[in-house]
Structure 1
């Protein structure tokens, strides 16, 4: 029994000596090793975390971020500029970035959408989950208890200013603000990454195609842009005597010049039983006659 205990102690001492003699790898050296980073990159390339590739469908169009900073809607669901990356910033707040352009989706104080290379406080949106699988996005900077500025598109695909006071419901304006998000298949993202790397647009790998932004680094926008207002329609004045009618004045027609309306024709129709009914036959206008011929 004593020999067995001595043998076990001797074996454990040999193992301890072998382990203590092994060189210990430095963790910082592994982080700086390019081959190790490449291996981790290959193993984690399919993981996106909180950042998901989506398409945003608004007002019968797909939202796209063009390289020149223009943001509009398109009917082409195969466009590379419609692939967006949604990432969570805070609870209920997200940032949206174009995968092909690396530009951030932003909303200015006038309610106009634009794409920016810099990640500013105008590029943070409040995400609200609505009914029927729709979402609404409002500006985190220009929304408060008094009013809410929404991300919206009009029927032509351009930015539309939608600002609601207080807790007033959207009502009919919801047709311009409702967003249907659809996830982009990984195969489409992989093909886009290969296309961008081949063209030289992005030198980084596909899951790091856009340069990462340091956490909590948001540029504050201080310039207050004055929104453009619609020009009021100027009323035309009456033309003076002897003055021809133009864009600045209009002539008032005299009673003799105005065409007289024909009075409706009243017809009395009686059936064989002696019951009579009065009917009013209104004259058909000339333009309506033309449509009736066709």
Structure 2
């Protein structure tokens, strides 16, 4: 054992001598205080660049490693679409065929060219992300679609009154029934060239009859 310890001591002596000869000065460890100062400066720089704030059980090293991703995570949360739930807009739905969608007091859905027709003012409420309920302000009836694709005004809000709202490439919106489909295809709110509602299964997303522009009331 004594021989092994002596050999080990000799090896350490040789390594120290080699390091000293190569660097021109003895090898020294950095003082702990200097390392802590460098770490503090790095943490301050990360905070200045938008790093995450410290909290309970905060680990400086882990925070430093994740500092470049924290701001991105917060931004993603800020862009969450959940805040749209309950959003209410007053609009007139103006079709690409130049008719305003309206619901009269009998529940009949039709199109009119009269710009300020009372029955055409709609309350569009977001009931979930991308899904809306459309209600006539003057009559209090909800736009609904039957299983056969017929549009009508419903006194009570029910699953047939939910429509998926989507902004198309031309800037117009389409409204497809959330509840009902025809042979697996979506059924859309649609007004033909005479302002009459079309059956949902006869309408297609690209048809101008299904495109509506939500216009602010004047």
TM range (shorter): 0.5 to 0.7
Structure 2 residue 215 is matched with structure 1 residue 178: no
Structure 2 unpaired stretches of 5+: 1-85
**Map of 2:11 onto structure 1:** none
Alignment of 1:1-294 (within 5 A): 50-58=87-95, 59-143=97-181, 146-163=184-201, 170-171=205-206, 174-185=207-218
Aligned residues: 132
- Normalising by structure 2, report the TM-score: 0.56
Deviations 1:27-55 (A, max 9, x none): xxxxxxxxxxxxxxxxxxxxxx7111000
Q: Aligned-pair RMSD on alpha carbons?
A: 2.1
Q: Does the C-alpha gap of structure 1 residues 126 and 62 become closer, same or farther in structure 2, counting only changes over 3 Å?
A: same
Inter-partner Cα distance in structure 2 for 1:156 and 1:136: 19
Give the helix-richer structure, 1 or 2: 2
SS of the aligned residue for 1:180 comes to strand
Q: Is the 8 A contact 2:92 2:214 kept in 1?
A: yes
Inter-partner Cα distance in structure 2 for 1:144 and 1:127: 18
Inter-partner Cα distance in structure 2 for 1:81 and 1:71: 10
Q: Is the 8 A contact 2:89 2:125 kept in 1?
A: yes
- Normalising by structure 1, report the TM-score: 0.42
Higher relative contact order (CA 8 A, sep 6+): 2
SS of the aligned residue for 2:94 comes to strand
Inter-partner Cα distance in structure 1 for 2:183 and 2:173: 20
User: How many Å apart are 1:94 and its aligned residue?
Assistant: 0.3
Instruction: Kindly report structure 1 stretches of 4+ aligned residues shifted beyond 2 Å.
Output: 143-146, 162-165
Inter-partner Cα distance in structure 2 for 1:164 and 1:71: 17
